[in-house]
Structure formats: C-alpha cells, structure tokens
C-alpha cells in the first residue's frame, strides 16, 4: 500500500510515481486531454475511483471523514507526481474535493457530514451557487431569496458563473433570508439538491466556445431546513471558509501542470524547429515567462507554508494575480509564436487561441484581480479606504 | 563546483538574521544619512563598511575553513537584499561575490592571502562592471603580470587599505592589487553615487593570484554569484522604495484627502508589490539551486538578475511618478533608487544577453534530460 510508506517521503514519492504510471500511463494522455464536457466528467470520475482504491482520492482529509490525514508535504508530492505524469485532471470535482470539506468540516452538522462527505470520493459532483448577475465582486449584495415555509425554505432567484453546474447533483448555495438587515447579516448557506423541482441550469458559452459553467435558475425550489449549514443569517461567515479553501492547494495543482505544459511546449517547438526559435526577442520573452512560472511555483510553496493563524496575508492575492496574468501572457505569446495558423480552428489539447481565450476567466474568477489589488492595498499595505 | 552551504538555518533563524541586519541599517543608514553621503558630507561609506566588518557580515556566506559562517548563497541573498533596501553605499557586492568565488576556485594559499584580510577589514575586491555578453575586454598577460584597461566596480570600498581587482585574461582570471602605481584606478563619475566605478589601468601589474579557466566554468561561477547578489539587491531596493512611496501616499493630502485613498493609486501600489514578490520568488529559486549544487544554478541566477533588475527599474520609475513633482527632486529618495536600479540593470551583462545565455543553458539542460524545474519538496 502506498499510504503505508508515508513516513518515508522518498519511498512514498516513488510509490506514487510508479502507481500513476501504471494506472494512467502518459502514453494514454490524449484520452483525458482531448475530451470535454460530460465525457470528461466520466473520465475524471474513473480517475477519482482509481485513486480512491489506493487512498489517493482524499488523502488530506481527516481520518474521521475517510481521509488519511496526510499533511502538506505528502500533498505536494502527490500533486507534483500527478502533474509530471500528465495524469487526468481533477477540475470537474474541484468544488467537491475542496470547498465541500472546507465548508462542512468546520461548519456542517454531524448529520450533514455523514450524509455528504462520503459521496465525494464516490464521485458526487458539487457546484457552488454564489455569484449572481447583480452580485459579482460585491457578492454580499446577492438577492436570491429564501423564505421559510414550515420545515422548508422556498428559493427564488438566479445564480451565475457556477462551475460545472450542468453536471452537478449538489450545490453549495448562498441565499438571502433577511432582506431587512445590512447585506452581510441577512445571508444563509444551504445545500441544494440539483435534481429538485424548479432548478434549471443553462450552460454559458464562453468566447472560445467551451462551457464549463452555467446559470442556475431557481423557481419555488423547496430545500429542507436541515440543509442549512451553520445558523440562519450566518451564511456570510460560513462562506469565508468556503472561499479560503481555494487558497493554495488548488492553485498548486494548476501551477505544477502549467509548468509541465510550458516545458512540453518548448520541447515540442525544439523538435518541430518552430520558426519563433530563430527570433531572439521571442526567445527572451519565452524564457522570461518560463522564469516567472517557476517563481509562481516557489510562491505557492511559500504560501502553503504560511501559518493559518487568521491574520491577513497578501500572498494568496499576489499569487492569484501573478499566475492568472502570466497564463494570459503565455496564451498571447503562443498565438503570436504560431502566427496565422493559430487562428485556424484547432482541436488539439490546449491549442494556443483556445487557451488564450480560456485564460480570461481565471483573471476574474475567485475574486477578480481588481479585488485582489484592493485587498493588497487596503489590508496588506494599509492604504485607507476613501 | 559549488558544494553547497555548510550551515543551514531554519526560517525563524534566518528571519532573526535578516532583522538584525535591517536593524543596524535602519539606524545607521537611514535616508537622511544617505542623502548627506551623496554630497560626501559625512563618512557613511566607511562607517557602514566598519560596521559590516565588526558584525561579521562579510563572512556570513564564506565557508568555515575560510573563517566564515558557511551560509552560502542564502547569506549572500539576505545581506544583499537588506543593503539594497537601505541603498547602503559601498562595494559590498563585488567584495562578497569575489570572496565567495575564491573560496570555490582558489587554492589554500591564495585563500589565506586574500580572504583573511577581507574579514578583518583590511582588504576588499573589485570586479569588472561587465563580465559577460558584449563589451567585455580581456587584459594581456606577460610573465607574471597583466596590462590593459578595464572599468571596475568598486575600488573605493570604504577606507579599506588594500583593494584587489579581479580581471579577465585569456582563459584565466588574475587578481591584482590596486596600488595606485602599476595598477591605477581613476574614478569615473557615475550617476549612482552610492557605488564607485573606476577605470583601472594595469601596466605590468603583478598577478597576486591566477585562476586558470580554460573551460570558462570559473568565470561562469563568478557571474552566478554576481547575478544572485545583484538580483537580491534589486529586490531589496525595489521593496524599499515601494514601501517608502506607499507611506508617502498616506501623508500627501489633495482634494482634502490623503491620496492613498484613491483606487487608481492603490492598484498601482499593489502592482508594484506584485512585481517585487514574483522576483523575490525567482531569487529564492536561484538561492536553492546554488546551495544545492544544482547544475542549473547558473541559469536561474542569471534569470533572477535579469528579472529582478528589470523589476527594480520598473518599480523605481513608478515610485518617482507616484511621488508627483517631488519624485524627481534631489531631496526625495526615488532618485537614489532609480540610479541604483539602472546601474544594476547594466552590471554583469545586459539583461537581453543574460536571457540569451539562459535559453542556451535551458537547451543544454534539456539535451541532458533535465527540465531545470525540479524543486525539492
């Protein structure tokens, strides 16, 4: 068993490496790199199940909730080895794996933890109903209304930018339970079954034609009161736990994969004798981005080592800005490097123009970079509010 | 070639070391003292050097066998970063880097002759302003002497009695003593007045130490140390002026409010911190590689120098602008930092050529089956 080796980090790493190469051989990477949508959900669900067999689905979760209680150094090894092996990704289950335990473990009832946590490694797909058309950066101004009716809440409203909501069976939902008080004080946090009557999901088509998030329309949806997480009207505080579970580890996996990918692109360019390699300015631009990508991996490691003492840290905001703007630059660089043929429709994995358009989403999601700048300036540099 | 540090400190110990250096500089090298030094109306340069000698800063990185503390690249990074933050005058970068380099490439006798006097404050080192890329020169060697002319940093080094310059020969390096006669340094007036640049003229100057370097590896290592120190100095300098500028924005009142409340300025300030922290992380990558003896240290140190000095120029420029009119006066601090930034940008090698070298080193690594991106944990 791989987990039995956890006290010997070197042996642990080798065991993870051997297992991933055997279970998801890099030669088969096209099988999980090309598909999108429901097909990708199936592949990632298979991959989750394979990992679960050997204890690598939720190894960082507490033992009480089915995990192995592994710490950071193990998670970094696992993430690193998975990325290096170009293994299937995890992005369809990102809310399930991170936000669900991040919210339920500190704030959920015992019944909720028992009911929902085991579903995660079994492949239950969750989405998050936070943003609304009128509540983006100003999330607390959300208007989706929940009115108590006996032992249910009745929900009416609309959510947007809900990642993978079209494939989800459960939703972490923020609603307004008291419209008469200050905006942060009247919010509650519910678990919504996506198969409830009155729930309708419409995928949003992005500029690159792909759809990885949707709008959720809720019309008289009835949610049992027992699905309330934390106290009524205390949802804002609970939501901060959900959002802080985005910190670090999530981004770490992305950064590891992005570094591998950038290295792969360069190797490919060398073997193709790509024209841009003859252009000194393009080479310098590439190596500058290569260096910054490595810098962001170092920053993430520093972030993961920061104490979670409740104090404000600028690092999550700085890493988020650095990574998302760098990926946008890399997308732009690749389109320019390839020239006009980058504008022909290309269905290969992370094709330059597809990827370039894709990178705009991350600049906004998870707190737009403008919001991150406000946080850095006001909380980090203590520049006063106007 | 680099064996890695003998001594490693944990995070708290490193932070304490950094604080102890910063505390000294904060009181002994504050903005006012630096301004007065620019007019050479105090003795800040020699005073800081004496402090550094007394506090053992010059030996932080050197191996224990040479009388140092054995902190390697980590020590070089921390010290250079703090000196940069306070725009400390003096030839610390050349002295620290050459000493570190000699500890790797020189024989026992050469090390005894040259490194001991550095630690006791009797000797300092100068290096060519350009070591790589275009514009480098080679001095001619004849018998046991060298002749020729080369621009070097920093021959003044406080009031240190003996300054030794490292100069390139064909396939080797020579250490000569700047004696004012056969090795004569004539000061060049430069914009950055916190460091000294001289034109060194050698006329059959005796070679004190000769480092053979047929394959160029010794020169590459010297460049690696210089790149790291310049990168760390740049990160410290950029952070120093950015923080001062933010404090200024909190004081300056216009339209009946402190200008720090304007979102346009907040976002610019946040972007400065973003530029700095990215380069800080890149310097961290270089430090780890040097101290681990990674074959990719030469590449990462050069990328760090290129990135950090570019960022320093960007940050210092924006700090002038964020100060408004006073930003480009002699009286305020940004002028000191922009000049240090521009000098750092040019020292060792221009950043375009450093990136060209880095691409070549990446290609070599890939040919040898390394990605250069492995991080230990």
Segments of chain A assigned to CATH 1.20.140.10:
246-380
Closest listed residue to residue B206, CA positions, set B187, B186, B181, B185: B181
Report CB contact under 8 Å: B358, A263.
no
Selecting from B269, B281, B356 the residue whose C-beta is nearest the C-beta of A383 gives: B269
Spatial contact of A144 and A209, defined as CB atoms under 8 Å apart: no
- Distance from the Cα of A278 to chain B's closest Cα (Å) equals 12
pLDDT on residue B2:
45
Give the single-character DSSP code of B325.
G
Quick one: which of B109, B191, B122, B188 has its CA closest to B150?
A: B188
CA A230 to chain centre: 23
- Look at A376 and B363 and tell me if their CB atoms are within 8 Å: no
pLDDT of residue A252: 84
What sign results for the dihedral spanned by CA atoms A264, A268, A273, A275? Answer: negative
Interface check for A320 against chain B (CB to CB < 8 A): the answer is no
In this predicted structure, what is the pLDDT of residue B8? 79
Least confident of A26-30, A146-150, A302-306, B320-324: A302-306
B246 at interface of A, judged by CB pairs closer than 8 A: yes
| Distances, alpha carbon A347 to alpha carbons A34, A134, A158, A351, in Å | 8, 35, 33, 7
Closest CA of chain B from A35, distance in Å = 28
Contact A263 B363 (CB under 8 A): no
Report yes or no: A386 and B261 within 8 Å, Cβ to Cβ.
yes
- Give the mean pLDDT of A106-130: 95
Which among A73, A298, A382 has the least Cβ separation from residue B284? A298
Contact A256, A79 (CB under 8 A): yes
Name residue, tokens 């249910």. A152
Degrees, nearest 5: CA angle A246-A156-A149: 105
User: What are the tens digits of pLDDT across the range A243-296?
Assistant: 776 566 668 888 989 999 999 999 999 999 999 999 999 999 999 999 999 999
Query: ipTM of this model?
Result: 0.96
CB contact under 8 A, A381 and B273: yes
Q: Contact at 8 Å (CB) between B34 and B87?
A: yes
Q: Which overall architecture, per CATH, does domain A3-89 show?
A: Orthogonal Bundle (1.10)
pLDDT at residue A72, as a whole number: 83
The answer to whether residue B363 neighbours chain A at the CB level (below 8 Å) is: yes
Where in chain A are all domains bearing CATH 2.40.110.10? 126-233
* Residues in B touching A306 (Cβ below 8 Å): none
- Cα A83 from chain centre: 15
The listed CATH number (2.40.110.10, 3.30.479.30, 3.40.47.10, 2.40.50.140) that belongs to domain A126-233: 2.40.110.10
pLDDT of residue B122: 94
Residue B207 has pLDDT above 70, yes or no: yes
Using a CB-CB cut-off of 8 Å, the residues of chain B touching A382 are 250
User: If you count residue pairs, one on A and one on B, with CB atoms under 8 Å apart, how many are there?
Assistant: 127
H/E stretch holding B162: strand B162-169
Q: Does the CB of B160 have a partner CB in chain A at under 8 Å?
A: no
Min Cα–Cα distance to chain A from B259, Å: 9
Average per-residue pLDDT for chain A? 93
From the list A384, A324, A134, A380, the residue with the least C-alpha distance to B263 is A384
**In a 10 Å sphere around its CB, with 0-12 CB exposed, 13-18 middle and 19+ buried, how is residue B333 labelled?**
buried
State the Cα–Cα distance between residues B90 and B160, nearest whole angstrom. 11
Separation in Å, CA B53 to CA A39, A227, B92, B95, B224: 67, 67, 11, 12, 24
| pLDDT(B98) > 60 | yes
Question: Are residues B278 and A287, on separate chains, in Cβ contact within 8 Å?
Answer: no
Q: B303 and A291 in contact by Cβ < 8 A?
A: yes
CATH number of A246-380: 1.20.140.10
Q: What is the C-alpha separation between B183 and B200, in angstroms, rounded? A: 7
Look at B277 and A299 and tell me if their CB atoms are within 8 Å: yes
The pLDDT of residue A311 is 82
Q: What is the pLDDT of residue B93?
A: 97
Using one digit for the tens of pLDDT, what is the confidence trace for B123-142?
A: 999 999 999 998 889 999 99
- State residue A308's pLDDT score: 73
> Which DSSP letter does residue B326 get?
G
pLDDT (tens digit, 9 = 90+) per residue, B10-45?
889 999 999 999 999 999 999 999 999 999 999 999
Task: Evaluate if residue B1 carries a pLDDT over 60.
Answer: no
Domain(s) of CATH 1.10.540.10: residues in chain A: 3-89
* Per-residue pLDDT tens digits for A121-153: 999 999 999 999 999 989 999 999 999 999 999
pLDDT score, position B377: 64
The lowest-confidence range among A103-117, A247-261, A354-368, B268-282 is A247-261
What would the 3-class secondary structure string for chain A be?
A: CCHHHCCCHHHHHHHHHHHHHHHCCHHHHHHHHCCCCHHHHHHHHHHHHHHHHCCCCCCCCCHHHCCCCCCHHHHHHHHHHHHHCCCCCCHHHHHHHHHHHHHHHHHCCHHHHHHHHHHCCCCCCEEEECCECCECCCHHHCCCEEEEECCEEEEEEEEEEEECHHHCCEEEEEEECCCCCCHHHHEEEEEEECCCCCEEEEECCCCCCCCCEEEEEEEEEEEEHHHECCCCCCHHHHHHHHHHCCCCHHHHHHHHHHHHHHHHHHHHHHHHCCHHHHCHHHHHHHHHHHHHHHHHHHHHHHHHHCCCCCCCCCHHHHHHHHHHHHHHHHHHHHHHHHHHHHHCCCCCCCCHHHHHHHHHHHHHCCCCHHHHHHHHHHHHCCCCCC
Unique residue bearing structure tokens 């809310």: A95
Residues with Cβ < 8 Å from A285, sequence gap 6 or more?
A: A333
pLDDT at B135: 84
pLDDT of A90 strictly over 90? no
Confidence grade of residue A76 (pLDDT, cut at 50, 70, 90): confident
The residue-averaged pLDDT of B61-76 equals: 96
B282 to chain A nearest CA, in Å? 5
Rounded distance between C-alpha atoms, residue A247 and residue A314, angstroms: 12
Domains, in order of start, for chain B = 217-367 (1.20.140.10)
CA distances from B252 to A77, A224, A377, B320 (A): 49, 55, 16, 14
**Residue A304 pLDDT:** 84
Chain B, residues 280-299, CB within 8 A of chain A, namely 281-282, 284-285
Q: What is the dihedral of CA A78, A83, A84, A87, to 10 degrees?
A: 100
Per-residue pLDDT for A190 more than 80?
A: yes
Q: pTM score, two decimals? A: 0.94
Position B6 scores a pLDDT of 74
- Alpha-carbon gap, residue A344 to A340, rounded angstroms: 7
CB-nearest partner of A321 from B258, B269, B274: B274
Q: What is the band of A306 on the pLDDT scale with cuts at 50, 70, 90?
A: confident
Q: Which two tokens stand for residue A163?
A: 């990642």
Task: Provide the sign of the torsion angle of the four alpha carbons A216, A218, A222, A226, taken in this order.
Answer: positive
B191 Cβ contact list (under 8 Å, min separation 6): B339, B342, B343
CA distance B362 to A289: 13
Contact between chains at A381 and B269 (C-beta distance less than 8 A): yes
CA–CA gap between residue A315 and residue A251 (Å, rounded)? 12
């Amino acid at each position: 068993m791989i987990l039995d080796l956890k006290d010997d980090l070197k042996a642990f790493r080798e065991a993870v490496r051997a297992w991933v190469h055997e279970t998801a051989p890099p030669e088969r990477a096209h099988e999980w790199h090309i598909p999108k949508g429901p097909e990708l959900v199936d592949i990632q669900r298979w991959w989750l199940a394979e990992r679960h067999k050997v204890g690598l689905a939720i190894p960082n979760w507490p033992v009480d909730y089915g995990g192995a209680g592994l710490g950071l150094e193990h998670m970094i090894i696992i993430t690193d080895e998975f990325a290096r092996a170009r293994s299937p990704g995890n992005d369809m289950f990102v809310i399930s794996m991170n936000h669900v335990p991040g919210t339920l473990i500190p704030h959920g009832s015992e019944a909720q933890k028992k009911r929902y946590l085991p579903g995660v490694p079994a492949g239950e797909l969750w989405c998050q109903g936070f943003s609304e058309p009128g509540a983006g950066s100003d999330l607390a101004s959300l208007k989706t209304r929940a009115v108590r009716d006996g032992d249910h809440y009745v929900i009416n409203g609309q959510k947007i930018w809900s990642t993978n909501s079209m494939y989800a069976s459960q939703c972490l939902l923020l609603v307004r339970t008291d419209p008469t008080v200050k905006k942060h004080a009247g919010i509650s946090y519910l678990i919504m079954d996506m198969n409830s009557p009155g729930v309708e999901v419409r995928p949003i088509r992005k500029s690159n034609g792909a759809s990885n998030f949707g709008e959720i329309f809720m019309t008289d949806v009835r949610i049992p009161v027992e699905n309330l997480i934390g106290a009524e009207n205390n949802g804002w505080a609970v939501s901060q736990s959900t959002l802080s579970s985005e910190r670090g580890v999530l981004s770490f996996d992305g950064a590891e994969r992005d570094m591998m990918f950038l290295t792969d692109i360069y190797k490919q360019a060398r073997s193709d004798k790509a024209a841009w390699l003859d252009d000194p300015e393009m080479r310098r631009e590439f190596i500058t981005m290569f260096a910054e990508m490595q810098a962001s991996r170092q920053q993430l490691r520093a972030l993961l080592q920061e104490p979670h003492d409740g104090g404000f840290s600028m690092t999550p905001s700085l890493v988020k800005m650095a990574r998302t703007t760098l990926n946008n630059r890399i997308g732009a660089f690749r389109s320019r490097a390839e020239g006009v043929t980058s504008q022909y429709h290309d269905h290969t994995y992370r094709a330059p123009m597809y990827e370039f358009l894709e990178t705009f989403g991350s600049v906004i999601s998870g707190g737009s970079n403008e919001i991150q700048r406000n946080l850095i300036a006001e909380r980090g540099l203590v520049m006063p509010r106007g | 070639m680099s064996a890695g540090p003998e001594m490693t400190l944990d995070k708290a110990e490193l932070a304490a070391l950094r604080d102890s250096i910063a505390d000294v500089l904060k009181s002994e090298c504050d903005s006012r003292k630096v301004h007065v030094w620019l007019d050479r109306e105090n003795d800040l340069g020699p005073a800081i050097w004496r402090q550094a000698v007394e506090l053992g800063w010059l030996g932080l990185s050197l191996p224990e066998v040479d009388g140092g503390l054995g902190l390697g690249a980590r020590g070089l990074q921390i010290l250079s970063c703090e000196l940069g933050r306070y725009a400390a005058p003096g030839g610390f970068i050349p002295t620290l880097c050459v000493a570190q380099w000699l500890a790797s490439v020189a024989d026992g006798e050469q090390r005894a002759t040259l490194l001991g006097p550095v630690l006791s404050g009797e000797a300092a080192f100068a290096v060519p302003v350009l070591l790589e890329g275009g514009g480098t020169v080679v001095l001619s060697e004849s018998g046991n002497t060298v002749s020729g002319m080369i621009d070097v940093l920093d021959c003044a080094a406080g009031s240190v009695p003996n300054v030794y310059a490292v100069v390139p020969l064909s396939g080797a390096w020579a250490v000569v003593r700047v004696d004012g006669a056969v090795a004569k340094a004539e000061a060049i007036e430069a914009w950055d007045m916190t460091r000294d640049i001289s034109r060194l003229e050698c006329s059959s100057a005796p070679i004190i130490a000769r480092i053979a370097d047929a394959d160029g590896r010794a020169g590459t290592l010297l460049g690696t140390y210089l790149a790291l120190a310049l990168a760390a100095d740049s990160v410290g300098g950029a952070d120093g002026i950015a923080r001062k500028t933010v404090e200024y924005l909190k004081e300056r009142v216009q339209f009946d409010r402190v200008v720090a409340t304007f979102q346009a300025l907040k976002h610019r300030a946040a972007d400065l911190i973003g530029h700095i922290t990215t380069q800080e992380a890149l310097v961290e990558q270089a430090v780890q590689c040097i101290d681990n003896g990674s074959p990719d240290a030469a590449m990462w140190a050069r990328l760090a120098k290129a990135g950090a000095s570019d960022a320093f120029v960007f940050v210092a420029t924006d700090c002038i602008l964020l100060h408004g009119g006073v930003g480009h006066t002699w009286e305020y601090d940004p002028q000191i930092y922009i000049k240090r930034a521009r000098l750092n940008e040019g020292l060792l090698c221009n950043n375009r050529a450093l990136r060209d070298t880095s691409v070549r080193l990446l290609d070599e690594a890939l040919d040898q089956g390394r990605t250069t991106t492995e991080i230990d944990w």
